[in-house]
Structure 1
């Protein structure tokens, strides 16, 4: 009888401790003591100013996508946990339930839509051909006989394929954008196709590089959207808040902060 009572008391004490500490790693205390569910955001932190690490200051992942994700998630009562990985692994991470959503300057292409759902486009940019200033590459035609680098599984890889249909180029693929920049500087590739806003960020630190934008293309060919698992309730929730934030000017403020002006 005493053993039974003792076991019961111990059990009650354990329940009290667990209740006080919280048992789910997916929840964290918010302001006022309420529980905020953690959403795991997949990204590839090599894409300034969308997402990157300013190593001179900290190892924290910062950028436009990070601020926008936190803005939306906070409105919905969530807290964001960021998981950094190679860009070509992001769709797979969604499918494997390793992340709840992806923000990585990702374009909602028809091919990607077969695997994931997308939010509305929240930012539109253009493709840029980046090369060394002394390369004399000023047009698509100047790429003839050249080696062009692209990020693996990116929309720029698809763009290079289109160019290759009319211009004789060799396509080289790398996992991350900084690798492409270093390959140009080392003379191992002649040029790279990079999103214009991202390329301009690299120009600031690499005055020996320059580029020109590729005109034309639709919003879906160069726009950025948030990727979710197929059928996720988060898609509609995020879209609702995203629309509100775009209409009330909060997204424009982030654009000015990270890009220096509205696009």
Structure 2
């Protein structure tokens, strides 16, 4: 009888914990964010000019867009600088309200998060040594390629399902693009695949050694990510992006950072 009572008690506790856990994973509404007084933006500040460090501050195109969203909601913008491959987890666990990190709105990610309308068209650039025999994207076949962990370049070069037309010999992953470039210069890899704008910055700093190919590996679009089911937040973010496009403000922000290159 005692064992039966203990079992019943255990089942009652377990049943009570299920709804509690569900509440913990509740998607925040715009009202919830406004009540908290802050919009938490998760990013990886290693992606100039979209997000990068200027002293102790994180600045860049994505930061300015996120600030406009925070202003529309009437809250403060709080920036969480974390590893790129943990950004979606931060959304799913409720540690962040949005991800603005030069993130490509691809189909795999759409299974786990919702995206805003696209705010930028981008591409995956190929960086090689100045004397490299790699002259086009097709020349990456059979080569050792460095990528930033969790990016579109990583997924494309890894090519797990074999659907892509490029088959590299080996993919080496890095937390930062500059680490991949260092290995390229040191001769440890044959090429680096990374987003176009950071690629330009990296090449500019090492123009005597490396170059960016004219041909891109892939074309893509950046959008702001949010937890699945964030319909009201998505509506507000899309409204901000639309207004910024129509007014020309988005182009002005992008041009400001690109001009600094």
Q: Partner residue of 2:222?
A: 224
User: After superposition, what is the alpha-carbon deviation per residue over 1:166-217, rounded to whole angstroms, capped at 9, x for unaligned?
Assistant: 5452111122222212221222111111111110011221112111144585
Conservation of the 8 A alpha-carbon contact between 1:101 and 1:226: yes
Conservation of the 8 A alpha-carbon contact between 2:143 and 2:169: yes
After superposition, the Cα gap between the structure-2 partners of 1:213 and 1:224, relative to the gap in structure 1 and judged at 3 Å, is: farther
Conservation of the 8 A alpha-carbon contact between 2:48 and 2:201: yes
Aligned residue runs from structure 1 range 111-260, under 5 A: 111-162=108-159, 165-207=165-207, 208-215=209-216, 222-232=220-230, 233-260=232-259
- SS of the residue corresponding to residue 105 of structure 2 reads coil
How many Å apart are 1:165 and its aligned residue?
4.9
| Structure number, greater radius of gyration | 1
After superposition, the Cα gap between the structure-2 partners of 1:242 and 1:36, relative to the gap in structure 1 and judged at 3 Å, is: farther
RMSD, aligned CA: 2.3
Conservation of the 8 A alpha-carbon contact between 1:126 and 1:213: no
Conservation of the 8 A alpha-carbon contact between 1:86 and 1:176: no
Q: 2:58, 2:181 → 1: CA distance?
A: 20
Q: Partner residue of 1:89?
A: 86
Conservation of the 8 A alpha-carbon contact between 2:99 and 2:224: yes
User: After superposition, what is the alpha-carbon deviation per residue over 1:91-141, rounded to whole angstroms, capped at 9, x for unaligned?
Assistant: 000001011100000001111011110000000111111112122321134
After superposition, the Cα gap between the structure-2 partners of 1:134 and 1:84, relative to the gap in structure 1 and judged at 3 Å, is: same
Gaps of 5+ in 2: 1-34
- SS of the residue corresponding to residue 203 of structure 2 reads helix
Q: 1:185, 1:100 → 2: CA distance?
A: 38
How many Å apart are 1:46 and its aligned residue?
0.5
Q: 1:157, 1:112 → 2: CA distance?
A: 14
Q: 1:36, 1:96 → 2: CA distance?
A: 17
How many Å apart are 1:145 and its aligned residue?
3.4
Gaps of 5+ in 1: 1-34
Matched, 1:104 2:105: no
Q: When the two structures are superposed, what TM-score results if normalisation uses the length of structure 2?
A: 0.78
Conservation of the 8 A alpha-carbon contact between 2:137 and 2:216: no
Conservation of the 8 A alpha-carbon contact between 1:103 and 1:226: yes
User: Would you say how many aligned residue pairs link Structure 1 and Structure 2?
Assistant: 222
- SS of the residue corresponding to residue 70 of structure 1 reads helix
- SS of the residue corresponding to residue 135 of structure 1 reads coil
